[in-house]
Structure formats: structure tokens, C-alpha cells
């Protein structure tokens, strides 16, 4: 859910799905999240700001942290103990968008607590920053495997090997 939100924008392809109400509705439906029936420009701006704050968080930079904590406060996202026992994260759910953002925040918090959040990263290529899940044993992957970026990194690695071979 977090990855799909961050990747609604593909910098390498100059694509952003969240510039229109239809785009936001399509993402929310695909992610099985509630959405206002008629998203406003303010809704779109809010979600894009939230998305970019998440991208910064996954990229390991602190810039997005205040915006994310601002959304935690705005949506009232907090842990609730339930019988079972288990813990859920609930919010004030004032609007459909509040509920959607609460659920994404809950996923981020849960992943942060169970350690899987460190595997969800953004590509180190400045012009890419695609969100990907690092399955490498030591969590050392730096670049994504998208068609454009992955091919570029393969070419870079190939040239590096060729250069190493030429000097060997």
C-alpha cells in the first residue's frame, strides 16, 4: 500500500497519477482504500504532499518527517489494544481521505515496528527514486529494477566490467 502510493508518480517517465480526481479514485480503489466521491484540488495536494513525505522517509532523509507527523496528528492515528490480543492503529476518520491516510500511516508504523520498513526504500538514482522492496540478505540494494532504471544500471554495471576487463 505504501509502495503503491509512492509509485503513483514515476519521475523517470514524468508520470503522476495523482494530478486528477480520477487518478486518485483509481489509486484508492486499487489499494482498497476509501476516497471522497469527488476529490477536490485540496485533497489531491494533500495526498501528493503526503506521498512525497513518504518518499523522503523511505529515502532515509528527514525532510518528510514533520509532514508525516502532522498527518498523524491531523488524522488522530493512534494505537489501540484489542482482544486477541493484538494492536490496531485507528484514526478519527473524519473524512474518507482521513481514513485512507490513517490506513497508510498504520502500515508505515507497523512496518517500522516489525523492521520491514528498512527494506522499503527509494532508488538511489536522483532522477528515479522509485519505491522498491529490498529482498537482499543484508539489505544493501540501492537501485530499483524498473524497466528504465534497471536497464540503465545493468548497462552501467556492464560498462564497469568492460572497463575493468580492459585494464586487467
- Applying CB under 5 A, the residues found at the interface with Zn ion are 123, 125, 128, 130, 144, 149
- Min CB(79)–Zn ion separation in Å: 34
Instruction: Report, in Å, the least distance between residue 42 CB and Zn ion.
Output: 31
CB of 151 to Zn ion, least distance (A): 10
Q: Residue 60 CB, nearest distance to Zn ion (Å)? A: 15
Name which of 104 and 128 has its Cβ closer to Zn ion. 128
Q: Which is nearer to Zn ion, 154 or 159 (CB)?
A: 154
Residue 54 contacts residue 6 (beta carbons within 8 Å): yes
Task: Name every residue whose Cβ is closer than 8 Å to that of residue 58 and which is 6 or more positions away in sequence.
Answer: 2, 6, 120, 121, 122, 131
Q: Which is nearer to Zn ion, 107 or 125 (CB)?
A: 125
Cα–Cα distance between 69 and 6 in angstroms, integer? 17
The dihedral of CA 28, 101, 75, 20: what is its sign? negative
C-alpha cell at 135: 529482498
* Shorter beta-carbon distance to Zn ion: residue 72 or 144: 144
Amino acid at each position: 500500500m505504501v509502495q503503491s502510493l509512492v509509485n503513483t508518480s514515476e519521475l523517470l517517465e514524468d508520470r503522476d497519477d495523482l494530478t486528477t480526481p480520477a487518478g486518485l479514485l483509481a489509486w484508492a480503489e486499487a489499494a482498497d482504500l476509501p476516497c471522497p466521491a469527488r476529490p477536490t484540488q485540496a485533497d489531491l495536494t494533500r495526498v501528493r504532499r503526503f506521498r512525497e513525505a513518504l518518499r523522503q522517509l523511505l529515502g532515509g532523509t528527514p525532510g518528510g518527517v514533520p509532514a508525516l507527523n502532522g498527518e498523524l496528528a491531523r488524522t488522530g492515528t493512534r494505537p489501540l489494544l484489542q482482544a486477541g490480543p493484538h494492536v490496531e492503529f485507528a484514526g478519527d476518520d473524519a473524512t474518507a481521505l482521513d481514513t485512507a491516510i490513517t490506513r497508510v500511516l498504520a502500515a508505515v508504523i507497523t512496518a517500522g515496528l516489525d523492521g520491514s520498513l528498512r527494506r522499503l526504500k527509494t532508488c538511489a538514482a536522483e532522477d528515479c527514486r522509485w519505491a522498491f522492496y529490498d529482498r537482499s540478505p543484508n539489505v544493501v540494494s540501492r537501485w530499483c529494477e524498473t524497466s528504465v532504471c534497471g536497464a540503465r544500471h545493468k548497462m552501467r554495471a556492464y560498462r564497469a566490467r568492460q572497463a575493468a576487463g580492459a585494464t586487467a
